[in-house]
Amino acid sequence: MCGTPVKNIAKHQIESSLMDLNALCSDVITICKNTGRYILEEQQILKSVGFDSKGINDFVTHVDKGAEEMLVKEFKQLIPGSCFLTEEKTVEQEDKAYRWIIDPIDGTTNFIHGMPFFCISIGLQLNGETVMGVVYDISRNECFHAIQNDISRLNGNPISVSDCQLLKDALLVTGFPYRDEGKLNDWMRLFQHFVKSTHGIRRLGSAALDLAYVACGRFEAFYEYGLSPWDVAAGAFIVKQAGGEVSDYSGGENYLFGKELLAGNGAINDELRSIINAHFNR
Query: What pLDDT digit, counting tens, does each position of 149-170 carry?
Result: 999 999 999 999 999 999 999 9
Start-end of H helices in the chain:
11-16, 18-43, 46-49, 62-78, 108-112, 184-197, 207-215, 229-241, 269-279
SS3 72: helix
HEC letters along 104-155 = EEECHHHHHCCCCCCEEEEEEEECCEEEEEEEEECCCCEEEEEECCCCCEEC
| Cα angle for residues 261, 26, 155 (degrees, 5° grid) | 65
138, 148, 137: which is closest to 237 by C-alpha? Answer: 148
φ, ψ for residue 164, nearest 5 deg:
-60, 130
Domains of the chain plus CATH, in order, are 11-158 (3.30.540.10), 167-279 (3.40.190.80)
136, 156, 146: which is closest to 39 by C-alpha? Answer: 136
CA–CA separation, 268 and 280 (whole Å): 18
Q: What is the structure's pLDDT at 52?
A: 60
The pLDDT confidence band at residue 179, using thresholds 50, 70 and 90, is: low
Q: What is the structure's pLDDT at 123?
A: 98
Neighbours of 223 (CB within 10 A): 25
Burial 148-181 (b: 16+ CB within 10 A, else e): beeebbbeeeebebbebeebeebbbbbbebeeee
Section 237-261 average pLDDT: 97
CA–CA separation, 194 and 81 (whole Å): 46
Q: Are 107 and 119 in contact (CB under 8 A)?
A: yes
The pLDDT confidence band at residue 1, using thresholds 50, 70 and 90, is: very low
Q: Which amino acid is at 249?
A: Y
What average pLDDT is seen over the chain?
A: 89
pLDDT digits (tens, 9 = 90+) for 26-83: 999 999 999 999 999 888 777 655 556 555 445 567 889 999 999 999 999 999 999 9
pLDDT digits (tens, 9 = 90+) for 67-91: 999 999 999 999 999 999 998 888 8
pLDDT digits (tens, 9 = 90+) for 98-131: 999 999 999 998 998 889 999 999 999 999 999 9
Section 10-24 average pLDDT: 66
pLDDT score of 4 more than 50: no
